[in-house]
A and B are shown apart, each in its own frame.
Chain A
Amino acid sequence: MSAPALETRDLCKQFGALTVASNINFRLEPGARHALIGPNGAGKTTFVNMLTGALPATSGKIMFGGEDITQMAQAARTKRGLGRTFQITSLFRDLPVLDNVALGIAEREGVSLNVWKPASSYASIRDESMAHLETMGLGPEALLCVKDLPYGKQRLVEIAIALGLKPKVLLLDEPAAGVPSLESGRILDVLADLPKDIAILIIEHDMDIVFRFAQRITVLVQGAVLTEGTPDEIAGDQRVRDVYLGEGGHD
């Protein structure tokens, strides 16, 4: 049996006396479509930040393809194939859309230390960036500044950047947050078309997206895993209904 793409063992995070993650044991299988849900403040984003290395874990282990990456710097994890998108859009707002994607590809290809040839002469990077943007339907906007795009399209740029890094595991932090439902359909289409060999963990409030996209769901409550199962199991779980679905059910 192959190692899980990403795994955590007894992962904990404390901010002083406040425990935001307690003994999280989690497995993401290769090629998985996995969702992480939970009420606000359940510690979902903290969990993702520990996975990517943006936050150090207090204790526990993070394994990436069988390798212990708990102490590894964020950039090194990215190099190994751990990609992410951000909950709050975090783009290079004043740069062209194409450059947003190209900067990541340049890092992946290791050309960023070249100080002599003009960046514009790297046709392969430009073409690959363009290809990713076209997959997202952003071809016509490639040369616009990111800040001039509508919000829904900025979310797509996020995904294009992450794909440009050729990740083995992709963490999508609320890819449709703040997107009008009219445009979120486009994001769903994009998610459905993501390459099958990428293992994907999606954090999402929109249950519509979660149940359409995920094959497995983990429910996080107050920093701990409440339960994990198939979408049907989760939908039928009374505890989940109590703490999460039943509580609001509004989004």
Chain B
Amino acid sequence: MIRSGSYSGHARIGIMEALPWIAAIAVYFLLPEYLSLGARIMIFILFTLSLDLILGYAGIITLGHSVFLGIGAYTAGILSVKLNVNDPFLQLIAGCLTSALFGLVSGAVILRTRNLTLLMLTLAITAIVYEIGNKASSLTGGADGLPGVQVNPFFGTFEFDLWGRTGYVYCAIVLFVIWFVVRRLIYSPFGAMLTGIRENTPRMHALGAPVYQRLLIVYTISAGIAGIAGVLMTQVTQSVGLNVLTFEVAGDVLVMLILGGVGRIYGAFVGPVVYMVAQDLLAKQFPEYWSFGVGILLVLVVFFARGGILGLVDKIVDRARTP
């Protein structure tokens, strides 16, 4: 099974790959009361996809990916609340660029290290940015965050409505575009090269690849995508708060990716859906214990399905094929 760029095999878009989009359309028509949850899930899919790009494909371990979500989210919030820039696409582009820029600058420092040192540095950066978000209250609203974010109607017509229809469709379209870009990237020579770095970094050096520069490029791209997810979050909830900058969010997204399957594009789709739907159901049934259920789910996955849910599906399909 080819999961990234390969010179030896083809990676056409398969029929199965239409499933997420069919599901997204079906939800819109069949489950209108779940559209705001659906939009949140799609935002997290986008965020998880950005993490998959660096962790799953390039092998960069991070516990601080929330920084990029947060910077995107605050960029949109500050633009609207402080500068009165309410154009949705301007906010989107600005959030993507600021986050990518921060990815480039912080990556230039931390990507010189590896493994545990890298992990610690990502944690440190998350802590620093969180504290800046907390203390720079004239800009960020501090602990209160920035409520009352305005977003102009799309193309002057489609306003964010009470039922979350516009938000849902908007998130779906953005996710679709980014999915398409990421998919191209993963199956390109660039994706093949990233897989090479993940599989055997010293060998990539010996092949003449400037590994640090390549990691910096993918880290910047990933940061930009995470920033877009952050902007969507601000726009859909029409507010932004410190919660987007926490370790908890960085941990959540990691759990979602592992749950779905690391290093595979649809792992980033399945993980957030399962995690957030489980969270939603459990929170209704057992409001006090919902994280207990999510914890059990994760334990089961790491013990019995090392490749995540999709890895498990692969195994079952393989077994069914070979009697």
A residues contacting B by CB (< 8 A) are 52, 54, 73-76, 78-79, 84, 86, 90-96, 98-99, 102-104, 106-108, 111-120, 122, 125-126, 129, 142-143, 161, 165
Q: Point out residues on B near A: beta carbons under 8 Å.
A: 5-11, 184-185, 187-193, 195-196, 199-200, 202-211, 214, 217
* Max count, chain A CB within 10 A of own CB: residue among B6, B184, B189, B196: B189
Can you offer 28 A-B residue contacts whose CB atoms are under 8 A? A54-B206, A75-B211, A79-B208, A91-B200, A93-B199, A95-B6, A96-B6, A96-B9, A98-B8, A99-B6, A99-B7, A99-B192, A102-B7, A103-B204, A104-B207, A104-B208, A106-B7, A106-B192, A107-B204, A107-B208, A112-B193, A112-B209, A117-B188, A117-B189, A120-B8, A120-B10, A120-B187, A122-B189
B-chain residues with CB within 8 Å of residue A111 when the two chains form the complex? 189
A78–B207 Cα distance when bound, in Å, is 7
Report yes or no: B8 in contact with A90, Cβ–Cβ below 8 A.
Answer: no
Of A75, A92, A142, A161, which contacts B209 at CB under 8 A?
A75
In whole angstroms, how far apart are the Cα atoms of A98 and B8 in the complex? 6
Could you tell me if B189 and A106 are in contact, using CB atoms closer than 8 angstroms? yes
Chain B: minimal CB distance from A218 (Å): 23
B223 CB to nearest chain A CB (Å): 16
What's the count of A-B pairs with C-beta under 8 Å?
126
The reply to whether A90 and B202 form a contact with Cβ atoms under 8 Å apart is yes
* Structural contact, A122 and B7, CB atoms closer than 8 A: yes
Cβ contact within 8 Å between B7 and A129: yes
- A142 nearest in chain B by CB position: B8
Q: Are B206 and A112 in contact (CB under 8 A)?
A: no
How near does chain B come to A93, taking the closest CB pair, in angstroms?
7
Measured in the bound complex, the distance between the Cα atoms of B196 and A93 in whole Å is 10
Given the known interface contacts A119-B5, A161-B207, the answer about A114 and B189 at a Cβ–Cβ threshold of 8 Å is: yes
Q: Is the CB of B207 within 8 A of A107?
A: yes
